[in-house]
Every structure is written in C-alpha cells, then in structure tokens.
Amino acid sequence: MKTHRATARHRKRRAADEAAAPVAAYDEAAASPAQSLETLRQPRASRSAHGAAVIALQRVVGNAAVERMLAGQVAQRYPVDVPEDASCDQVREWMETSNPYAREGNAAATTVTFSWSATWRITGRAPNFKLRLSNPQVTMDGPHVDMPQRKPHNPKLRAAWQRMYRTLRDHERRHEAIAHRWRRILLGRLRKLSIPVTAASREEVAAQARELVGQRWDEWIEQHQAQQSEIDPFQALLDCP
C-alpha cells in the first residue's frame, strides 16, 4: 500500500535552503513489474491491490504504456446462464432477476479505479505553510465493461437480443464517458490543489501531506461515483417477438 516517507536528505537540510525544494513523493511498496502484471491479470484482485500495481508499473514503464496495456482489458463477458433452447421470456426473466448485477437493478457493469501520484511542493514558513503538488499524475484503471453474452439461433430472438444489447452498450458508454471526463477533472484539481497547513516545520507538513491530499481525493472519488450512480439503475428491455 501507499506510504509516505520524508527522505533522510530532506531532514538534514537547513530550513533556509528549502524555500521551494520539492519533497519526496510518497513511496509505493516496491513490487517488481512481473508481480504488478500478475496482479493486474487477476480479475478478482482487490481495487487497492489493482491501484498499487498500476502505480508500481507506471513508475517503471511510464503512464502512457500502462494505460495502453489496461485499455486492452476492456471487454469482459458474463454468460447468460439459461439453456440453449430457452424461450425469449425465459431469457428476459433471467436477465431481470438473476444476472450478476440484477440485485442493483442493472444488467451490465462498468468499473473504473483512479490512482494518483505526485511530488510535494511545500512553501511558506512556520507555522503557516502551503502544500501543493508538482507533476501530479492520475492513472485510470479501466473503464472495464462487463456485458451479457448470448447468441440465440432463432433469427427473431437474435434480433431482439441485439437490440437490447445495443441499448445496454450505449448506456455503459455513458458510464465510460463519465469516467474519462473525471480523469481530466481529477488531474485539474490535483494541479490546482493548494492546502494551507499550520505546522511547526516543513517535515511536519510532509508527514501529513499524503493524508491531507488523500482526504480531498476521497471526496472527489465520491463525487465521481455519485455521477455514475445518477444514471443507474438501468435495465435494457428485451422486447420479445
């Protein structure tokens, strides 16, 4: 998980030398690229494990390379668990009551995990400091879209299924668009972030920095989630012939 350590070098410096000196960014627990890749390939890995793996990889191969890699993982498909010769009504009932997201009133799911990293920029003098971020980065893991998979043989049933599927896919695209928009919003907010901190020393500010930024970040992530929830629940109608 993410931890913050002020560097030893920083501690030895005299306050006068530090007017605009960047303080070390928070450290990720060191994971090898192979370990990180392994974590990302496990669909059941926890979100925090996923996020930590993304940041660890990002440090080694860069943000753009990690995003290209994650973009390849978009499509997941859950099977529609009814017999091959099930009627359209049976399929509809299964979708409404038994699909993996039926409990929330949905028929598909789009998930995304955002992580951030940055270098601290602490200005001011005791007891009035300002905490800002240098070179903040936002990494987006996803959006991962999970859609139902079925291919009815009967042409009429297939047409009805495909209409339902397209409607559902369009809905999930709205979730994806919200995620992409929030990626830019989050980066803009990290860049503009300026937190006044009352502290006895620069070290004291650095020691709290990760948590102070993290509190803001958590609020923003909740706002993103609230926007995602505004367009749910959503079930596309399977209009049986």
Rounded to the nearest whole angstrom, what is the least distance from the CB of residue 60 to Zn ion in the complex?
A: 34
Q: Which of residues 56-75 bind Zn ion (CB under 5 A)?
A: none
Could you tell me which of 190, 196, 177, 187 has the C-alpha nearest to residue 216? 190
Give the binding range for Zn ion (CB under 5 A) out of 24-32, 137-145, 160-168, 229-237: 229-237
- Site pattern 174..213 for Zn ion (x: CB under 5 A): ----------------------------------------
Rounded to the nearest whole angstrom, what is the least distance from the CB of residue 106 to Zn ion in the complex?
A: 5
Query: Which of 234, 235, 238, 240 contacts Zn ion by CB under 5 A?
Result: 234
Q: Is 27 in the site for Zn ion (CB under 5 A)?
A: no
Tokens of 14: 């005299």
The Cα–Cα gap between 204 and 157 comes to 66
Rounded to the nearest whole angstrom, what is the least distance from the CB of residue 227 to Zn ion in the complex?
A: 11
Rounded to the nearest whole angstrom, what is the least distance from the CB of residue 225 to Zn ion in the complex?
A: 12
Q: Is 232 in the site for Zn ion (CB under 5 A)?
A: yes
Tokens of 36: 């990180």
Residues at the site binding Zn ion, with contacts judged by CB under 5 A: 232, 234
